[in-house]
Chains A and B, each alone.
Chain A
Amino acid sequence: MSNQEILDKLKDTIVNQNINGCAEATQEALDAGLTPVEIINDGLSPGMKVIGDKFEAAEIYLPQIMMSAKAMNAAMEILLPIMEAEKGEADEGAGLAITYVQEGDIHDIGHRLVTTMLGANGFKIVDLGVDVPNDTLVEEVAKNKGKKMLLVGSALMTTSMLGQKDTVEMLSEEGLRDSVKIMFGGAPVSDKWIEEIGADATAENAADAARVALNLMK
């Protein structure tokens, strides 16, 4: 099987939500000499892009996305230890992503998907969970000041979305705004809102979030 055929097979396992098949195809790809980065960038991520597009077009739905994410997870369980061993502790990878759901909000399916996708794309993850107060965020950013850092906040409701504005303001007041890139997501978040509150970016879905995050950290 050619390398391209192996990568196509990896992509198909993601698109078809084939969890066991994805893990097997990942091992096959490694055995064939492909690197973890090639496997992620040219096999798994294109699969998640297809899934994202299909979700946008209302051709597939949340359960199918979750199954694809699970397939991706199965591959990452094999790839991450190899990548970490190759990089060593000092390597920052794509950066440190602090992910969380805004205070007052416990809807975390989107947050989990985005966290998975960021991890799969080389970010080190600090997952603060749901209903996270802004004080905690500021503390975490202060603790990691100096690192290549991305704050990734999620809010499903317009009421909790308003807290994102406070997050940006509090980071500015504490002199930490320039230490971190900020991405916000969730159903009510728009480009206009991102511009209004002075954050850096948003994304349409989990697959897009990984792409936007990588661009932001360049």
Chain B
Amino acid sequence: MATEYKLRMGDGKRLFMTKEQIVADLKEGMADAADLGDIPDLSEDEIDKLVEIITMPSRMVGVEQGMEVPVTHDIGTIRIDGDQGNSGVGIPASRLVGAMMHERAFGADTMELGHIDYSYKPAKPVIAQEMQTMEVCQQNMIVPLLYGAMPNMGLYYTPDGPFENPGDLMKAFKIDEARESMEHSAKHLTRDIVWIMQRMMASGSDGVNFDTIGAAGDGDMYASLHAIESLRKQFPDIYIEAGMAGELLLGMHGELEYDGTVLAGLWPHQQAALVAKAGANVFGPVVNTNTSKSSAWNLGRAVTFIKQAVKDSTIPCHVNMGMGVGGIPMLETPTVDAVSRASKAMVEIAGVDGI
């Protein structure tokens, strides 16, 4: 009987596969990415390396010595204090304590201050508190501390915001009105992000993290790119990290352009150029996990996409690794066997600059 290795499905369920099955799934995932993104396959050597990583007997694996990369954290300041619904562990602690724990105990190379609502729009009414917290954190920390939140353009649509919901308008076949609503929302989102970051920079922030760009489709990306461009002009030394929400930029509008490129339908390697053009320092590409496929399938696919993004990007790529992205199963607290294997593969095969 052939040896079976422990893997996981994309939803985290334990799975046992033979080496032949693993190779088949890796190649199938790779082919899916290559087909969708019109990008090259991985080489046979790279497939072999992926098999080696997946079949390592240790529960947890790490990168080879000398291949360590920086790790950047997002909402980590409230990961300590937050409950499971907020990806936290429920230990009462201030945001300062959370940030310092990541810096001094967990080895984070950069850190982020984020509000519990974690979108730019709800940070506006509490901007004074955000500014004061940033200042206190900066006085106590050494690693670069960014201010971060989700652009989350959905908050500008009814019932949460002032503009009519494009989903409702589209259902009524009011396509032009839906697009106008997205364009208005994008302008307001850009304005709000810039306004918030002007104040956070005045409070000593080292930069900004755009977390989950494109969550509300191409309008979300359009607004974020314009905000990046504006911030770069106003603060030439600001550190800007631009992380994506998903692998494919959804065309909710369908016709928005940036620098002559239609935003809808861009894959990670195509998003990288626009993010760099707008003025970001770091690009955070995303590949989504398919919960109905094995972790081998997902990892083969994710590494293929990210390798091309790293190749095409003119700025460093810090790949998004966490629940449901980067070949990691979709679990609130992703398992260490899957996280460490996927991370090692991203560093040693895709060649990412950071995580």
Residues of A within 8 A of B (CB): 58-64, 66-67, 69-70, 73, 108-109, 112, 158, 188, 190, 192
Contact = CB atoms under 8 A, between A and B. Distances in A.
3 smallest CB-CB distances across A and B, nearest first, come from A61-B251, A61-B254, A58-B265
Nearest to B182: A63
Given A63-B170, A66-B175, A70-B175, 18 more contacts: A58-B36, A61-B250, A61-B252, A61-B265, A62-B250, A63-B175, A63-B178, A63-B251, A63-B252, A64-B254, A67-B175, A69-B173, A70-B173, A73-B173, A109-B167, A109-B170, A190-B292, A192-B292
A1 to B, nearest CB: 29
Contacts of A66: 170, 173, 175
A67 B178 CA distance: 12
A190 B11 CA distance: 14
Contacts of A69: 173
A61 B252 CA distance: 7
B interface residue count range (under 10 / 10 to 19 / 20 to 34 / 35 or more): 20 to 34
Interface of B: 36, 167, 170-171, 173, 175, 178-179, 218, 248, 250-255, 264-265, 291-292
Nearest to A111: B171
23 contacts: A58-B36, A58-B251, A58-B264, A58-B265, A59-B265, A60-B251, A61-B250, A61-B252, A61-B254, A61-B264, A62-B170, A62-B251, A62-B252, A63-B170, A63-B252, A66-B170, A66-B173, A70-B173, A70-B175, A108-B171, A112-B171, A158-B291, A188-B291
| Interface class of chain A by DSSP | helix
Contacts, number: 49
A204 to B, nearest CB: 14
A61 B256 CA distance: 12
Contacts of A60: 251, 254
A188 B290 CA distance: 10
B141 to A, nearest CB: 39
A109 B171 contact: yes
Contacts of B170: 62-63, 66, 109
Nearest to B330: A158
A61 B178 CA distance: 13
Contacts of B173: 66-67, 69-70, 73
Contacts of B218: 61
B26 to A, nearest CB: 20
Contacts of B171: 108-109, 112
Contact of B253 (A63, A70, A108, A109): A63
Contacts of B175: 63, 66-67, 70
B258 to A, nearest CB: 16
Nearest to B37: A58
A58 B254 contact: no
A35 B47 CA distance: 56
B169 to A, nearest CB: 10
A39 B173 CA distance: 23
B334 to A, nearest CB: 17
Contacts of B167: 109
A73 to B, nearest CB: 8
A210 B173 CA distance: 20
Contacts of B265: 58-59, 61
Q: Which of B178, B251, B253, B292 has the most CB of A within 10 A?
A: B251
Contacts of B292: 190, 192
A63 to B, nearest CB: 5
